[in-house]
């Protein structure tokens, strides 16, 4: 935009304001006052008598409300007045200083309007790109989405070895016998048949394997000590576990869904590729599964173990079987700095989705993150275990902390400072909007090859209640500079200084794929939009050329599906400030 154009637009913008504040003394006209005589008697209402096209004609043509029509008329009036004043002063009515003030005023208004127009164009482009990739990112049907398979009874599954045990549940691998290839795999494994769920003998356990499993599903059996034995009571008590459940997951519980929803159950989380999906959820009698008498005898019902404290019925969740947890993966593999950056980015994408849905996980740790590998060996991360989550429709992410009996979540080591230092009181509220992002910053140390400073022992051990940012250990020099800055920024003690998960994810997206944009000294929105359009075209082409998109293409598609102009600009400014710092 040339200086001449900016000046002309600025003069137009300022005209009505100058008319209002430089009018000669006399009757006051305007809203609620005496009408001004003459053809301008309708000024301020979006009308003008006579057939001639007035300043509000274009606004009326565009269908703008009256308040916007008034603004546009005011702008036009001020521009005309400024032009007349400038001509008079330029002819000798004022000195150079007065002429310079008029020029600067007009030029400033013109540049402001152009900046606003540029922002509107960028926001519109981001919305269009977002709409396209939101459709592209729809998840494929799950393995139990077929109408031929019900899967709401434990007897319908073949159960294999134990693959995990936590503080509230045990997880077993499983498969569906109706699929021929699964039957063949089960028979070759020495499947034992009998009453109840079919069980294979528990063999030697392995840390993890990248090979496809004969058991594509995992069944999570909750331990029921206090929920009673009715389906309604179990679903109500364990409602947090149902947050990532699919739409049809509970449809086999015959009336329990209606009861659960009527009691104001937890929110239902929309699908996301970086968050676990529960395909089926049902209640059933507790069976004696492999290793139960050794691993968790105390939570079994008395009919299975004389000293057991558990009820005879509990909740079962059916999910996809992932090869390993993030902790197991990092024991066996050392990702490159770029790959580690993409892994951190995946966690931020998952956390951002939770925040947008008004949900806080509150128990993020490497044991609660699952990993699978694509054809190239790149890890894809999935957040799981929602037993401690905050997913209340009434309060969202603002938890009233009235007493110490209020549950603040699990995993005290990775509890954000604003949560761990909170003191209960009648007006105390804990804001969880950035708590999970803080936990991602701590987990990033593990992903980049160091010990988690909030787990370590001795001098290296930090506590979220009392640590200072200066005590955070430095990440290796091999880690990209932008990622190092971001991790420290995520671990800021004050939540107000901490970037949101969306802004943090955008920082890594720009760092990974927008280097030439960030290199520009004068980054304009139009240039950013041009780069986004290039990324959109390249990502769509890459997605069509391959049958199964690689991790990098998936991440770009997620970025474009969550595109927000304001959050992207914040990320770009944050990156440029870090790079400009000495």
Q: Is the dihedral of CA 78, 81, 85, 87 positive or negative?
A: positive
Token duo for residue 166: 């936590």
What SS3 state is found at 316? Answer: strand
Angle at which helices 501-513 and 481-490 pack, to 10 degrees? 180
CA dist list (Å): 163 to 159, 215, 322, 411: 11, 11, 10, 21
CA dist list (Å): 509 to 274, 369, 506, 560: 16, 21, 5, 10
Residue count of the chain: 582
Q: How many CA atoms lie within 13 A of 93 on its CB side?
A: 9
Q: d(Cα 17, Cα 32) in Å, to the nearest integer?
A: 19
Instruction: Reply yes or no on whether 363 is catalytic.
Output: yes
Closest to 318 in 3D by CA, of 194, 140, 137, 156? 156
Cβ neighbours for 302, distance < 8 A, ≥ 6 positions apart: 308
Q: Is the dihedral of CA 334, 339, 341, 342 positive or negative?
A: negative
Cβ neighbours for 398, distance < 8 A, ≥ 6 positions apart: 429, 430, 431, 432
- H or E stretch covering 49: none
Which of 363, 385, 392, 482 is the catalytic position? 363
Q: Is the dihedral of CA 299, 406, 275, 443 positive or negative?
A: negative
- Intra-chain end-to-end CA distance of the chain, in Å: 33
Residues annotated as part of the active site: 363
């Amino acid at each position: 935009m040339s200086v001449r154009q900016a000046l002309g637009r600025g003069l137009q913008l300022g005209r009505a304001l100058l008319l209002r504040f430089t009018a000669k003394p006399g009757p006051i006209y305007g809203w609620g006052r005496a009408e001004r005589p003459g053809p301008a008697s309708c000024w301020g209402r979006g009308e003008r008598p006579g057939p001639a096209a007035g300043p509000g004609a274009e606004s009326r043509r565009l269908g703008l409300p009256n308040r916007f029509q008034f603004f546009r008329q005011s702008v036009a009036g001020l521009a005309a007045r400024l032009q007349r004043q400038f001509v008079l002063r330029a002819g000798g009515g004022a000195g150079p200083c007065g002429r310079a003030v008029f020029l600067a005023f007009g030029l400033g208004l013109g540049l402001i309007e152009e900046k606003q127009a540029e922002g509107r164009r960028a926001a519109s482009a981001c919305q269009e790109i977002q709409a396209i990739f939101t459709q592209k990112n729809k998840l494929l049907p799950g393995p139990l989405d077929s109408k031929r398979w019900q899967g709401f009874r434990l007897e319908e599954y073949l159960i294999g070895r134990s693959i995990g045990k936590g503080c509230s549940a045990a997880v077993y691998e499983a498969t569906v016998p109706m699929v021929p290839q699964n039957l063949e795999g089960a028979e070759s494994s020495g499947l034992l048949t009998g009453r109840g769920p079919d069980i294979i003998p528990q063999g030697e356990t392995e840390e993890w394997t990248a090979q496809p499993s004969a058991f594509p599903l995992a069944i999570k059996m909750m331990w029921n000590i206090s929920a009673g034995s009715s389906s309604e009571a179990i679903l109500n008590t364990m409602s947090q576990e149902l947050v990532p459940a699919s739409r049809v997951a509970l449809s086999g519980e015959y009336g329990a869904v209606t009861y659960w929803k009527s009691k104001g159950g937890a929110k239902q989380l929309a699908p996301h590729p970086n968050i676990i999906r529960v395909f089926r959820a049902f209640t059933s009698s507790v069976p004696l599964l492999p290793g139960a008498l050794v691993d968790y005898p105390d939570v079994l019902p008395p009919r299975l173990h004389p000293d057991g404290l558990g009820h005879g019925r509990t909740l079962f969740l059916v999910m996809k079987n992932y090869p390993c947890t993030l902790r197991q993966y990092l024991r066996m593999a050392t990702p490159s700095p770029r790959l580690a950056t993409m892994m951190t980015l995946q966690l931020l994408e998952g956390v951002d989705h939770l925040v947008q849905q008004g949900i806080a996980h509150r128990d993020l740790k490497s044991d609660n993150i699952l990993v699978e590998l694509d054809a190239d060996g790149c890890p894809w991360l999935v957040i799981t275990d929602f037993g401690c989550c905050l997913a209340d429709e009434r309060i969202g992410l603002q938890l009233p902390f009235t007493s110490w009996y209020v549950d603040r979540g699990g995993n005290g080591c990775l509890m954000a400072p604003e949560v761990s230092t909170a003191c209960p009181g009648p007006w105390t509220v804990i804001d969880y909007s950035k708590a999970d992002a803080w936990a991602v910053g701590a987990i990033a140390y593990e992903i980049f090859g160091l010990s988690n400073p909030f787990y370590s022992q001795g001098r290296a051990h930090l506590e979220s209640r009392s640590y200072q940012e200066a005590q955070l250990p430095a990440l290796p020099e091999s880690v990209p500079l932008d990622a190092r800055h971001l991790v420290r920024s995520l671990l800021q003690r004050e939540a107000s200084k901490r970037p949101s998960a969306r802004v943090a994810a955008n920082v890594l997206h720009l760092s990974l794929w927008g280097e030439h944009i960030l290199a520009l000294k004068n980054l304009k929105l139009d240039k950013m939009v041009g780069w986004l359009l290039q990324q959109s075209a390249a990502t769509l082409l890459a997605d069509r050329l391959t049958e199964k998109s690689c991790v990098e293409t998936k991440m770009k598609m997620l970025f474009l599906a969550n595109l927000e102009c304001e959050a992207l600009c914040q990320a770009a400014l944050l990156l440029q400030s870090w790079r400009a710092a000495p």
